[in-house]
Amino acid sequence: MHFLTDRGFNHPHASEITPRRAYDSRRDVLKLLATGAAGATMAAWAGREARAQATRPGRLAALPAARSALAGGVTMEKLTPYADLTTYNNFYEFGTDKGDPAQNAHTLKIRPWTVAVEGEVKKPKVFDIDELLKLSPMEERVYRLRCVEGWSMVVPWVGYSLAELIKRVEPTGNAKFVEFVTLADPKTMPFVGSRVLEWPYIEGLRMDEAMHPLTLLAFGLYGEVLPNQSGAPVRAVVPWKYGFKSGKSIVKIRFTDKQPATSWVKSASQEYGFYSNVNPGVDHPRWSQATERRIGEDGLLAKKRATLPFNGYEPQVGQLYAGMDLKKFY
């Protein structure tokens, strides 16, 4: 299915997303027919469309946002089609196959939902999700997301800088790190209890990383609220780090004086470090990190793309790591 090129989106406005998508799908099908594409390709197309339909029966609630004006906030690269980025997911609570989250995450209950913000802050508070949605104006940020497995995508997220929330709870002088705790509900998440990882899924950032304006608290994508498989109702997105740093379905944000024990470091510290900045110069012990495949776009035969230091966000974030040995702090 990834041989297909969906020349869908060039940064549509929220209001035109669905019509544009339908239009472009039809146009691509016509193009395929005109070039006499093989039946197998058509079947793959139909399969992909059916999956996208099945997991997205109607249009999700609109989440309008203004285009971000932040440096690095909007990459001009071609967007990954909605159908691809919502059917190729890592969300181990719902299974370890890429298609499992789209299949299984309909059980996730996203209301009522609260996010407890606590620890080293002067104003700890349990936020209702609907209050969080109104905390700060929504922005559309178009970020590259690079998974440690060697694939990447380009997503028009909707959210606001995590810093907006952090400022309101007033961290104390002891707050050196932020820990994200995500939902672990065995009733709605079939793989919580499996041994792949320790649950809940925990991620963390150093305070300056968390305060960096590019670090996004995301509530939506493509102008709509997040589909469950993408981490509804709220997730982090840290574009210069490997995808696993971007925890999905967050229920707690804790400020600490110690570096959090994160799930991937606990499961395999020789393979995954706390920092996990995208770095083509530091290979994973079992594979190279020098190149990547763009989901929905680069087929198996295409030449792979070069992975950029800090996923291309070095001008914005490189300074955070001045003087650090990035081979040691991987």
Ligand X SMILES: Nc1nc2c(c(=O)[nH]1)N[C@H]1C(S)=C(S)[C@@H](COP(=O)(O)O)O[C@H]1N2
Q: Of residues 30-69, which lie at the interface with Mo ion (CB under 5 A)?
A: none
Q: Where are the beta strands (DSSP E) in the chain?
A: 66-67, 114-119, 125-128, 139-146, 151-161, 177-182, 202-206, 216-221, 224-225, 235-237, 250-256, 291-294, 305-306
Count of residues of this chain found to bind Mo ion when the rule CB under 5 A is applied: 5
Max CA separation in the chain (angstroms): 65
* DSSP for 185-202, written as a single string: -TTT-TTBTBSSS-SS-E
| CB closer to ligand X out of 21 and 245 | 245
- Asked if residue 120 lies in contact with residue 175, where contact means CB atoms within 8 angstroms, the answer is yes
Q: How far is the CB of 242 from Mo ion (least distance, A)?
A: 6
Tokens (6 digits) for 262:
């994160």
Q: Per 3-state DSSP, what percentage of the chain is helix, strand, and coil (rounded to 5)?
A: 30, 25, 50
Query: CA dist 266 to 30, 48, 235, 261, 272, Å?
Result: 49, 35, 21, 7, 9
State in angstroms the smallest separation of the CB of 245 from Mo ion. 9
Per CB under 5 A, the list member of 244, 255, 272, 274 interacting with Mo ion is: 244
Residue 117 or 147 with smaller CB distance to Mo ion: 147
Does residue 231 belong to the site contacting Mo ion (CB under 5 A)?
A: no
**In the bound complex, what is the minimum distance in angstroms from residue 235's beta carbon to Mo ion?**
13
Shortest Cβ 182–ligand X spacing (Å) = 4
**What is the contact surface with ligand X in residues (CB under 6 A)?**
89-93, 145, 147, 182, 201, 230-231, 243-244, 246-249
Is 243 a binding residue for Mo ion by CB under 5 A? The answer is yes
Alpha helix locations (H) across 38-80?
39-55
Residue 92, binding choice from Mo ion, ligand X, none, Cβ under 5 to 8 Å by partner class: ligand X
The secondary structure of 116-163 as a DSSP string is EEEESBSS-EEEEHHHHHTSS--EEEEEEEE-TTSEEEEEEEEEEEHH
Q: State the CB neighbour count (10 A cutoff) for residue 279.
A: 21
Binding piece for Mo ion, criterion CB under 5 A, among 65-73, 130-138, 148-156, 269-277: 148-156
Q: Distance (Å, rounded) from C-alpha 268 to C-alpha 194? A: 16
- Give the tokens for residue 92: 């181990």
Considering the rule CB under 5 A, would residue 8 count as an interface residue with Mo ion? no
Q: Residue 31 CB, nearest distance to ligand X (Å)?
A: 27
- In the bound state with ligand X, the residue whose beta carbon lies nearer, of 23 and 287, is 287
Cβ proximity to Mo ion, 90 vs 215, nearer residue: 90
Q: Select the residue whose beta carbon is closest to ligand X and give its number.
A: 243
Q: One symbol per residue from 98 to 137: x for binding Mo ion (CB under 5 A), - otherwise; what is it? A: ----------------------------------------
Residue among 37 and 149 whose Cβ is closer to ligand X:
149
239 binds Mo ion, rule: CB under 5 A: no
How much is the CA Rg of the chain, to the nearest whole Å?
19
232 binds, among Mo ion, ligand X, none (CB under 5 to 8 A by kind): none
Among 147, 154, 178, 225, binds Mo ion (CB under 5 A): 147
- The binding site for Mo ion (CB under 5 A) comprises 90, 147-148, 243-244
